[in-house]
C-alpha cells in the first residue's frame, strides 16, 4: 500500500483511529486540520470483484469513519474512490500493449447508521461499472491491474432543514410556495404535510397540519433532515420528492429557481416538489404548490405554457411534447433556452430579446493599456528509477521540474516609458513572481487610475465632429445625445459618441498576463505559489488540475483589480520558435527597443538554444562555460542540436560576454519573453486592424474542430506509372493521389445558414428547395440503403452515424450501409442522398428556419487577406480566424466544469471554505494538492443553451455534401470501376486510380475543380497555376510529386512514400518517435499482424508538480473497428454491407 504524508501514524492515531495503523500502510493526505483524508491501497483486480473483499485499507477506512461518526455527532462523511494509473491491456487476440487511465467516482454521503460494508461495496460497484464501460470502449480492451486506489474521506456539515426562514420577497409575491412557520427543526415534515394534506386557510400555520403529524414515517431519520436522507423518506412513505434551490441573479436582481438539488429516482402518484432556501446561517424546506407560477419569470409568457418539466424546468405547449421530452431529452438539471422574451439588457440598458445574438461588448474594441508577458525556467532534476521494459507498457517518472527563474515584460500600449522587464533567479521563485507581479500591478493602477486632462481639439478633430452623425463606439445613429469621447489614459480625442457609450467605454479592471503553454505547464508553478495566499482567485477549468485561465483579485484604491493569467498557445497554436520565424525584422519592435544595437538584435531575433537537461540543479548555473554539444541533447525530442545551432549558441555566449550559465540562462529567458511579446503584440495589431477587437480581452481564439469523417477503406496500394523510376511496363498503370479541399469549413460557412425563424412544420412540407432558398430545413427521417448501392458506396458511405461497431460500446462517427432510423439530416444532404439512390421511407419531423449566406462576407474577407498576406504569420492568422468561428458554433456547454480552488477549511468573511462547498448538494469530488490547497469540483445546477449549435450542425452536414459531390459526381463518374478510395479524413481523399495518365485525364477539368497554384512553374504535366486558395477547390497535397506507396492501418494511422520523402502518421505518438518510423514498420504491422511498441517522453502534472515521464506504449496496431477487414487484411467493407449478413 502506498500513502504519502508525514506523521500519518501519529495524526491518524490521535485524530481518527482507536489503534495504530499497520506498518505497511502509509498515509496519503490529511489536510485542513485533518478534515479531509485520502487513503491509498494497491489492489488486484480479483480482489476488486470479490464480494468478500477485506484488507487493511478497508479495515482502516471503517475505523476512520466509525470513529468520526461517533465523535462528530450530527456530522457526516463524504467518500469517493479513484483508481489511478490503471494498467489496461488488449486481450490475446489483439495483443496491442497497454495504456494507463484514472477512474473516479463522485464523492457521496455516508450517513450515520449506514452499513459501511454495503456503502463501501456500492462504491466498488461503481468503479467496476466504469471499468466495464472502459473495457467496452474499444474492441479487445480489458483490465489487467489496478495499481492503487485512493479513497477520499471528507468530514462535512450536510445541508439540512431547520426552523422557519422568511422567503425572499420576489418569491413570496408569486404566491406559489407554502412556507410553514415552524419553531422546531422539522420544516421538512411540515413542508411534506402541507403538500400532501392541503388546506384552504392558514396555510402557513403548523396547527393546520398537526392532525396529520403521525401519518408520515421517519424511522431512522434524524431532524433536521439532510438532503441525503430524502431517498429514505421516499421509501418509508411511498412518495417521490424533488428539491429545488434558489440562485440570485445579479443582472436581473431577482432569485431564479435552480436544480434539482435532489431528483427522485422513481416518480409516484404522491409527488412533492420542495424549495430549499437559506439565509446564510440556517436552511429551510418549503412546499412548491405551483411550479409553473414559481418559474414564470424564467419561461415564456407568450406561450402561456402549462406543461412544465419538474426535472429541468423547461416548458412545453402540450402534454405529448412534455412526455417526449421527459423520455428522450431531459437533462435532469435546470435548463434555460432563449425564448424570444425581452429579458436581456443591451449596451444601452434597454430590454432586448434573449434569442438574438448581437455584438454589444464594445469595450472589447479598446486596446488594453497594459499587457504582461512572462516565462519560467525550471531545473530538470533526475529521478532514480528502474528502466522500462521496452516490450511492455509502463510509465515511470524520470525528471522533476523545479522552477528556478522567471522573467516578465510589462508592455504599455500608449507610453513605452512605462514598459519594463523584470527577472529573478533563486529560491521560492513562483512565490517571488506573484509578489513582484502584485507590487508592479498595484503601482501601475495607482499611477494610472485618474483620467488624463483632455488634449485640446485640433482642426482635424473639429472637422470630424462636424461631419459625424454616427457614434464611433456602437456605430449607430447619433441623436441629440452627442458627447465628445476622450481617451482615459492619454486625453486624446477619440470621436463623437452617445453619452452612455462614452461612459461605458472603459478598459476592464484586469491586466492580462500571457504565458505560452500556460495551461499545461506554467500554471502548475503559479498555483503552488497561491497556497498561503488569502486573496480571492477564480478558475476557468478544464478539469480539477488543468485550467484555461485563472484570476487573482487584488484590492487597489478600494477597487477590485484582477491579474488574469491566460495561455497564448490557446490563440497561436504552434511553438514560439515557429511563430518567431514567421515575423519580419520590422515586426520585432520590443526586441529592437531592448536591443537597439544591430549586432545584438540580429543575433536574438530567433529563439535561442538551451541545454534543458544539462540544467538539473543550481550548481549548473555556476558552470563557467557553454556545455559541450552532446550536452544539449533532448530526450523529449530524442535529438541533439545541429552544428549550426551549436555554433550559434557559442556566438551568443561570446558576443554577450557570458561568464556562467546563469548569464546565458538569463539572456535566453529574456529573449523568450521579448519574442513572445512581439509575436502576441503583432497578433493584437492584426486583430484590431482587421476586426476592431483586441484579443487580450478574451481567453482563447479557436475551439476544437470536430465531426469530420475519418476512415481507411483500402489498406494498401502501390502505384505503377511512367513518372516513377521503378516503373514496370508489364504491370497495369496506376496512380496514387492525395487531394485536400481548400478550407472545407470555410466553404460550408459561405453557404446559406440559419438566421432564425425556427418552427416545426407538417411532415408533408416540401423540403426539396434550392440550396439558396430563403428557408431551409432539418429533418428527422427513416432511410433505406438499397443493396444494389452497397458495392459502389462501400468505400465512402453516405449518412455517417455515431454508432457502436463490432464488440465495442464506444460511439464513433462511422460511415456505414445500414438503414437509418430517426436520422437527423440537413435538407441539402437529404436531397443528395435521394439523388444517389437512397430511399426516403418516412419523415418524422421537419424543422424550418430562415437562412442566408450571412457569414460569406467574413469568410471571403479572411480568404482574400490570406491570399494577399506577405508573411506566414498573417497566412496562419486568417486561417485561424475562420476556424475560430466554426469552433464557437460547436461549443458544448454541457462539458463545462465548475472547480473551486480553496486554501482554507472554514469560511473567511463572505468567502466560503472547503467545509461549506463539500456540504453543498452539487458537490462532486475533490483533489488535495498540498497541505493548504484543494480543488473542489461541483455539479452544474443550471444549463443555459445560448450557443448557436444549430450552426455547427449545419456547417458539418453541408461540408460533407462537397466531399460526396466530388467523390461520386466527379471522380467515380470519370474513372468508374477503375478507382479505389483508400483513405479519407474530413477534408482529404487518397485514391488509387488505374489509368494510363491520370494527370492528362483531369487536365480539362482543372479550372472547375482544382487549385494548382502551388505546382512548380513549367511543371512536367503542363498545369497552369490557377484557383489559388479558392474555397472548396481541391489541391494536390504533393503538388505533382509522385506518390508511390500507401499503407493505412486505421483512422489517423497511415504512411505515404513520396518521391523525395516519407510521411508517417500515428495518433497519440510523439513526433520524435514518428520520425524514426519507416514504411516497413507499417507493412509489417499490416501483413504480419505485428504490434509496434515505442518509448517516448511527456510532461505530466501530478498534484501541480510537473514530471517528465517515460512511457512505453503501442505506436502501431493493425486492428480497425470502423471497417470490417477481409481475409487478405487489405480490403475492407463498410458495416452493414449485404455480404456481411
The CATH number corresponding to 8-156 among 3.40.198, 1.10.3470, 3.30.1490, 3.30.70 equals 3.30.1490
How far is the C-alpha of 29 from the C-alpha of 31, rounded, in Å? 6
* pLDDT digit string, tens, across residues 494-518: 888 888 888 888 888 889 999 999 9
What confidence score (pLDDT) does residue 320 get? 74
Please, is 12 exposed, middle or buried when counting C-beta atoms within 10 Å of its C-beta (0-12, 13-18, 19+)? buried
Among residues 695, 703, 735, the alpha carbon closest in space to that of 892 is found at 703
pLDDT given at position 108? 54
878 vs 1083, residue with greater confidence: 1083
Work out the mean pLDDT of the chain and round it to a whole number: 81
What DSSP string runs through 344-362?
EE-TTS-EE-TT------G
At 205 the pLDDT is 94
Q: With cut-offs at 50, 70 and 90, classify the pLDDT of residue 45.
A: very low
DSSP letter (8 states) at residue 734: B
The domain ranges of the chain are 8-156, 169-298
463 vs 275 pLDDT, higher one: 275
Q: What is the mean pLDDT of residues 539-543?
A: 81
pLDDT surpassing 50 at residue 5:
no
| Residue 286 · residue 272 · CB < 8 Å | no
In this structure, of 142-151, 703-712, 912-921, 992-1001, the range with the lowest mean pLDDT score is: 142-151
- Buried-exposed string 72-96: b where 16+ CB fall within 10 A, e elsewhere: eeeebbbbbbbbbebbbbbeeebeb
Question: What's the rounded mean pLDDT across residues 808-832?
Answer: 90
978-1025 pLDDT tens trace: 999 999 999 999 999 999 999 999 999 999 999 999 999 999 999 999
- Mean pLDDT across 1113-1119: 88
Q: Regarding predicted confidence, which is higher, 1073 or 958?
A: 958
- Residue 101: is its pLDDT beyond 70? no
pLDDT band with cut points at 50, 70 and 90 for residue 866? confident
What is the C-alpha separation between 689 and 194, in angstroms, rounded? 64
According to the model, what pLDDT value does residue 919 have? 66
Q: How far apart are CA 915 and CA 154, in angstroms?
A: 9
* In the predicted structure, residue 334 carries a pLDDT above the cut 90: no
786-to-328, 792, 834, 840, 1136 alpha-carbon distances in Å: 29, 11, 11, 11, 11
Q: Specify the range with the lowest mean pLDDT, choosing from 115-124, 363-372, 619-628, 889-898.
A: 115-124
Q: Between 870 and 584, whose confidence is greater?
A: 584
The pLDDT assigned to 392 comes to: 66
What does DSSP say about strands 1034-1036 and 1010-1011: parallel, antiparallel, or unpaired? parallel
Nearest of 772, 778, 768 to residue 750 by alpha carbon: 772
Residue recorded with cell 479513497? 151
Query: pLDDT at position 6, please?
Result: 35
Stretch 765-794: mean pLDDT, rounded? 95
Predicted confidence (pLDDT) per residue in 371-416, tens digit: 999 999 999 999 987 666 666 667 888 899 999 999 999 999 988 9
DSSP strands (E only) in 467-536 = 483-486, 493-497, 510-515
pLDDT band with cut points at 50, 70 and 90 for residue 76 = very low
List pLDDT tens digits, range 837-855. 999 999 999 999 999 999 9
- Give residues with Cβ within 8 angstroms of 572, minimum separation 6: 579, 679, 680, 683, 701, 880
Q: How far apart are CA 869 and CA 179, in angstroms?
A: 67
Separation of CA 693 from chain center = 23
Q: 73 pLDDT exceeds 60? A: no
User: What was the pLDDT predicted at 352?
Assistant: 59
Q: Which pLDDT band, with edges at 50, 70 and 90, does 44 fall under?
A: very low
Q: Exposed, middle or buried by CB within 10 Å (0-12, 13-18, 19+), for 878? A: buried
User: If you average pLDDT over residues 786-815, what whole number do you get?
Assistant: 87
Over residues 791-805, mean pLDDT? 91
Among 28-32, 219-223, 332-336, 930-934, top mean pLDDT goes to 219-223
445, pLDDT greater than 80 = yes
Query: What pTM was estimated for this model as a whole?
Result: 0.73
Can you name the residues that pair with 511 across neighbouring β-strands? 563
Tell me the mean pLDDT in the region 285-310. 73
Rounded to whole angstroms, the Cα distance separating 891 from 949 reads 7
Nearest CA to 594 out of 516, 658, 673, 680 is that of 673
pLDDT above 50 for 74 = no
Spatial neighbors of 284 by CB under 8 A, at least 6 apart, are 161, 162, 163, 164, 165, 179, 187, 276, 277, 278
Q: What does the pLDDT read at residue 547?
A: 85
Amino acid at each position: 500500500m502506498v500513502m504519502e504524508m508525514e506523521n500519518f501514524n501519529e495524526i491518524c492515531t490521535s485524530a481518527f483511529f482507536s489503534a495504530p495503523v499497520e506498518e505497511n500502510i502509509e498515509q496519503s493526505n490529511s489536510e485542513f486540520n485533518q478534515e479531509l483524508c485520502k487513503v491509498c491501497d494497491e489492489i488486484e483486480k480479483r480482489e476488486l470483484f470479490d464480494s468478500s473483499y477485506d484488507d487493511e485499507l478497508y479495515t482502516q477506512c471503517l475505523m476512520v469513519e466509525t470513529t468520526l461518526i461517533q465523535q462528530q455527532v450530527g456530522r457526516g462523511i463524504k467518500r469517493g474512490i479513484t483508481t489511478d494509473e490503471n494498467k489496461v491491456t488488449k486481450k490475446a487476440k489483439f495483443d496491442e500493449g497497454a495504456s494507463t487511465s484514472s477512474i473516479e467516482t463522485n464523492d457521496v454521503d455516508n450517513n450515520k447508521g449506514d452499513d459501511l460494508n454495503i456503502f463501501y461495496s456500492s462504491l466498488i460497484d461503481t468503479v467496476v461499472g466504469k471499468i466495464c464501460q472502459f473495457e467496452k470502449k474499444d474492441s479487445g480492451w480489458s483490465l489487467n491491474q489496478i495499481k492503487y486506489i485512493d479513497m477520499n474521506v471528507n468530514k462535512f456539515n450536510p445541508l439540512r432543514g431547520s426552523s422557519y426562514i422568511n422567503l425572499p420577497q420576489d418569491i413570496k409575491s408569486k404566491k406559489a410556495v407554502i412556507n410553514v412557520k415552524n419553531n422546531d427543526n422539522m420544516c421538512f415534515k411540515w413542508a411534506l404535510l402541507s403538500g400532501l394534506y392541503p388546506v384552504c386557510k392558514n396555510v402557513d400555520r403548523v396547527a393546520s397540519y398537526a392532525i396529520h403529524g403521525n401519518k408520515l414515517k421517519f424511522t431512522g431519520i434524524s431532524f433536521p433532515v439532510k438532503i441525503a436522507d430524502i431517498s429514505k423518506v421516499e421509501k418509508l412513505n411511498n412518495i417521490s420528492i424533488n428539491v429545488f434551490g434558489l440562485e440570485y441573479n445579479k443582472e436581473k436582481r431577482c432569485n431564479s429557481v435552480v436544480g434539482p438539488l435532489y431528483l427522485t429516482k422513481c416518480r409516484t402518484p404522491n409527488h412533492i416538489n420542495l424549495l430549499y432556501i437559506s439565509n446564510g446561517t440556517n436552511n429551510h424546506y418549503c412546499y412548491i404548490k405551483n411550479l409553473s407560477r414559481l418559474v414564470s419569470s424564467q419561461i415564456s409568457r407568450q406561450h402561456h405554457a402549462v406543461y412544465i418539466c419538474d426535472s429541468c424546468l423547461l416548458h412545453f405547449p402540450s402534454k405529448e411534447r412534455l412526455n417526449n421530452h421527459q423520455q428522450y431529452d431531459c437533462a435532469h438539471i435546470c435548463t434555460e433556452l432563449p425564448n424570444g422574451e425581452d429579458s436581456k439588457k443591451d449596451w444601452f440598458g434597454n430590454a432586448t430579446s434573449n434569442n438574438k445574438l448581437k455584438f454589444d461588448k464594445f469595450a472589447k474594441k479598446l486596446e488594453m493599456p497594459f499587457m504582461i508577458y512572462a516565462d519560467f525556467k525550471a531545473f530538470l532534476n533526475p529521478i532514480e528509477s528502474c528502466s522500462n521494459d521496452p516490450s511492455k507498457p509502463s510509465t515511470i517518472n524520470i525528471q522533476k521540474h523545479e522552477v528556478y527563474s522567471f522573467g516578465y515584460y510589462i508592455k504599455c500600449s500608449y507610453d513605452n516609458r512605462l514598459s519594463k522587464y523584470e527577472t529573478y533567479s533563486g529560491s521560492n521563485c513562483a512565490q517571488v513572481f506573484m509578489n513582484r507581479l502584485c507590487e508592479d500591478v498595484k503601482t501601475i493602477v495607482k499611477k494610472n487610475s485618474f483620467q488624463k486632462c483632455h488634449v485640446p481639439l485640433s482642426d482635424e478633430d473639429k472637422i470630424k465632429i462636424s461631419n459625424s452623425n454616427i457614434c464611433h463606439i456602437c456605430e449607430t445613429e447619433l441623436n441629440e445625445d452627442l458627447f465628445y469621447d476622450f481617451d482615459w489614459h492619454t486625453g486624446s480625442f477619440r470621436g463623437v459618441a452617445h453619452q452612455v457609450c462614452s461612459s461605458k467605454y472603459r478598459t476592464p479592471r484586469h491586466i492580462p498576463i500571457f504565458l505560452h503553454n500556460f495551461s499545461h505547464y506554467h500554471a502548475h508553478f503559479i498555483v503552488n505559489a497561491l497556497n498561503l495566499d488569502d486573496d480571492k482567485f477564480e478558475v476557468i477549468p478544464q478539469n480539477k488540475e488543468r485550467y484555461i485561465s485563472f484570476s487573482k483579485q487584488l484590492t487597489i484604491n478600494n477597487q477590485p483589480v484582477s491579474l488574469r493569467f491566460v495561455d497564448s498557445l490557446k490563440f497561436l497554436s504552434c511553438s514560439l520558435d515557429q511563430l518567431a520565424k514567421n515575423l519580419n525584422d520590422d515586426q520585432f519592435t520590443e526586441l529592437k527597443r531592448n536591443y537597439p544595437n544591430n549586432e545584438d538584435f540580429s543575433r536574438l531575433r530567433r529563439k535561442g538554444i538551451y541545454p534543458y537537461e544539462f540544467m538539473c540543479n543550481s550548481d549548473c548555473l555556476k558552470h563557467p562555460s557553454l556545455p559541450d554539444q552532446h550536452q544539449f541533447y533532448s530526450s523529449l525530442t530524442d535529438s541533439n542540436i545541429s552544428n549550426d545551432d551549436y555554433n550559434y549558441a557559442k556566438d551568443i555566449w561570446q558576443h554577450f560576454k557570458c561568464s556562467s550559465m546563469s548569464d546565458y540562462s538569463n539572456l535566453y529567458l529574456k529573449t523568450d519573453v521579448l519574442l513572445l511579446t512581439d509575436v502576441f503584440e503583432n497578433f493584437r495589431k492584426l486583430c484590431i486592424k482587421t476586426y476592431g477587437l483586441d484579443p487580450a480581452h478574451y481567453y482563447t481564439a479557436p475551439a476544437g474542430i470536430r465531426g469530420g469523417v475519418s476512415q481507411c477503406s483500402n489498406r494498401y496500394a502501390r502505384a505503377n506509372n511512367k513518372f516513377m523510376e521503378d516503373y514496370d511496363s508489364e504491370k497495369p498503370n496506376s496512380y496514387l493521389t492525395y487531394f485536400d479541399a481548400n478550407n472545407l469549413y470555410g466553404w460550408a460557412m459561405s453557404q446559406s445558414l440559419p438566421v432564425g425563424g425556427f418552427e416545426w412544420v407538417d411532415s408533408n412540407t416540401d423540403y426539396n428547395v434550392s440550396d439558396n432558398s430563403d428557408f431551409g430545413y432539418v429533418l428527422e427521417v427513416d432511410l433505406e440503403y438499397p443493396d444494389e448501392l452497397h458495392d459502389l458506396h462501400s468505400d465512402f458511405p453516405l449518412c455517417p452515424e455515431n454508432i457502436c461497431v463490432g464488440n465495442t460500446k464506444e460511439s464513433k462517427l462511422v460511415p456505414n450501409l445500414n438503414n437509418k432510423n430517426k436520422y437527423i439530416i440537413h435538407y441539402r444532404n437529404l436531397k443528395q442522398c435521394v439523388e444517389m439512390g437512397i430511399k426516403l421511407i418516412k419523415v418524422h419531423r421537419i424543422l424550418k428556419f430562415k437562412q442566408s449566406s450571412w457569414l460569406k462576407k467574413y469568410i471571403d474577407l479572411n480568404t482574400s487577406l490570406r491570399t494577399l498576406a506577405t508573411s506566414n504569420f498573417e497566412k496562419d492568422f486568417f486561417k485561424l480566424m475562420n476556424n475560430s468561428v466554426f469552433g464557437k458554433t460547436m461549443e458544448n456547454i454541457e462539458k463545462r466544469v465548475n472547480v473551486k480552488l480553496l486554501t482554507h477549511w472554514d469560511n473567511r468573511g463572505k468567502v466560503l471554505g472547503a467545509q461549506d462547498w463539500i456540504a453543498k448538494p452539487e458537490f462532486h469530488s475533490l483533489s488535495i494538492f498540498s497541505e493548504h490547497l484543494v480543488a473542489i469540483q461541483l455539479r452544474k445546477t443550471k444549463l443555459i443553451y445560448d450557443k448557436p449549435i444549430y450552426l455547427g450542425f449545419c456547417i458539418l452536414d453541408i461540408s460533407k455534401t462537397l466531399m460526396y459531390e466530388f467523390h461520386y459526381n466527379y471522380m467515380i463518374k470519370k474513372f468508374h470501376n477503375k478507382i479505389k478510395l483508400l483513405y479519407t479524413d474530413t477534408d482529404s481523399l487518397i485514391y488509387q486510380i488505374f489509368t494510363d495518365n491520370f494527370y492528362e485525364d483531369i487536365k480539362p477539368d482543372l479550372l472547375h475543380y482544382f487549385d494548382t497554384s502551388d505546382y512548380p512553374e513549367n511543371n512536367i504535366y503542363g498545369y497552369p497555376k490557377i484557383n489559388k486558395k479558392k474555397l472548396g477547390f481541391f489541391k494536390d497535397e504533393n503538388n505533382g510529386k509522385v506518390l508511390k506507396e500507401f499503407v493505412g492501418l486505421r483512422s489517423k494511422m497511415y504512411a505515404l512514400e513520396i518521391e523525395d520523402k516519407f510521411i508517417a502518421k500515428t495518433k497519440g505518438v510523439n513526433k520524435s518517435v514518428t520520425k524514426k518510423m519507416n514504411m516497413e514498420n507499417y507493412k509489417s504491422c499490416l501483413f504480419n499482424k505485428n504490434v509496434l511498441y515505442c518509448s517516448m517522453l511527456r510532461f505530466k502534472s501530478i498534484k501541480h508538480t510537473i514530471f517528465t515521464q517515460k512511457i512505453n506504449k503501442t505506436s502501431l496496431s493493425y486492428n480497425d473497428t470502423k471497417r470490417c477487414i477481409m481475409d487478405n487484411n487489405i480490403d475492407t467493407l463498410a458495416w452493414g454491407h449485404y455480404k456481411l449478413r
